[in-house]
């Protein structure tokens, strides 16, 4: 089965789930041992995938395509679509509820888009959370430069924009330009590596392509250890935090250290 065929087949499976899904009272917050607490959305209706995405995206296989997972993704999509037009009071209430979930788990950060990407409703909640609870670090992963610009400029937001060898040049440049667009928000650039070919210098974090248990050992000091062969179960985002660490100022250059 080709990569594009697998992507289309999952889309055909997901559409009936979305059509039959309800709008829940609240956003569903996920939790797992590797990436910690996250809010996930479906790749269909939110993502603008590259050719590379349609090959290595983990939302195309495994537990992410199980029936109950697809239902939760559809419900989150519905909820954020509803929140796009909600009053600010409702948005604030949802943001504080998410923060309370983190407080109960004794976590001071959350990942957005463990799967999927930003949509207007989720941006509204992110912006409210950054304003009401600036102590919560929001790790946001995106490939959509235009909607990223609607995020509030806040040190609480840690934006990780994703690229790979198949990212169109125009979109890649727009993603890189976000580093200049934001003044307070920390912007880092990741790169999904699919071969031994040298990774561009602009990438501050490298994820070696890995599908299932197969991991490639292309070495680079910027590479996420969890994507390397021999990675340990304890090597989690919680213990590393490099993708969403706070910015460091260098007195000599007066620039953000994005490495």
pLDDT tens column, 26-60: 999 999 877 789 999 999 999 999 999 888 888 99
Residue 254: CA count within 13 A, CB half-sphere: 1
Residue 77 CB neighbours (<10 A): 24
Q: 23, exposed or middle or buried, with CB in 10 Å at 0-12, 13-18, 19+?
A: middle
Q: What is the mean pLDDT of residues 103-112?
A: 95
Which domain range does residue 216 map to?
Answer: 15-244
Q: Indicate yes or no: pTM above 0.85.
A: yes
Asked if the structure places residue 53 within a domain, the reply is yes
Is the residue at 45 inside a domain? yes
Picking from 118-127, 136-145, 246-255, which range would have the lowest pLDDT averaged per residue?
A: 246-255
Contact of 182 with 152, CB cutoff 8 Å: no
Q: Given a cut of 60, is residue 1 above it in pLDDT?
A: no
Nearest to 113 by CA among 12, 30, 192: 30
In a domain, 44, yes or no: yes
At 213 the pLDDT is 67
**pLDDT tier at 225, thresholds 50, 70, 90:** confident
Residue 195 phi, psi (nearest 5): -160, 175
Give the total number of structural domains in the chain: 1
- CA dist., res. 27 & res. 49, Å (int): 24
In a domain? residue 110: yes
Of 165, 228, 229, give the one whose Cα is nearest residue 202: 165
Per-residue pLDDT band for 212 (boundaries 50, 70, 90) equals low
**Residue 2: predicted pLDDT:** 53
Q: Is residue 2 part of a domain?
A: no
CA 128 to chain centre: 18
Lowest model confidence (mean pLDDT) among 6-15, 22-31, 101-110, 223-232: 223-232
Q: Name 198's Cβ contacts closer than 8 Å, sequence gap at least 6.
A: none
Band of pLDDT at residue 106, cut at 50, 70 and 90: very high
Q: Say if residues 178 and 161 touch (Cβ distance below 8 Å).
A: yes
Residue 252 lies in a domain: no
């Amino acid at each position: 089965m080709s990569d594009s065929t697998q992507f289309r087949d999952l889309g055909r499976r997901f559409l009936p789930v979305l059509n039959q899904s309800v709008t829940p009272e609240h956003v569903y917050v996920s939790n797992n041992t590797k990436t910690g607490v996250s809010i996930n959305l479906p790749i269909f209706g939110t993502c603008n995938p590259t050719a590379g995405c349609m090959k290595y995206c983990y939302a195309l296989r495994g537990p992410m395509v199980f029936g109950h997972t697809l239902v939760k993704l559809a419900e989150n999509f519905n909820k954020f679509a509803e929140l796009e037009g909600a009053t600010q009071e409702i948005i604030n209430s949802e943001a504080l509820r998410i923060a309370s979930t983190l407080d109960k788990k004794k976590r001071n950060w959350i990942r957005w888009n463990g799967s999927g990407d930003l949509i207007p409703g989720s941006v509204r909640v992110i912006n409210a959370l950054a304003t009401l609870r600036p102590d919560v670090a929001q790790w946001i992963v995106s490939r959509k430069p235009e909607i990223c610009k609607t995020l509030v400029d806040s040190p609480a937001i840690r934006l990780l924009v994703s690229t790979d060898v198949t990212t169109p040049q125009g979109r890649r440049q727009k993603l890189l330009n976000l580093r200049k667009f934001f003044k307070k928000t920390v912007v880092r650039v990741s790169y999904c590596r699919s071969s031994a070919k040298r990774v561009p210098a602009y990438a501050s974090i490298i994820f070696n392509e890995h599908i299932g248990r197969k991991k490639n050992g292309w070495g680079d000091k910027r590479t996420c250890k969890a994507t390397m062969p021999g990675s340990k179960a304890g090597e989690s985002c919680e213990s590393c935090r490099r993708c969403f660490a706070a910015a460091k100022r260098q007195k000599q250059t007066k620039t953000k250290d994005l490495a």
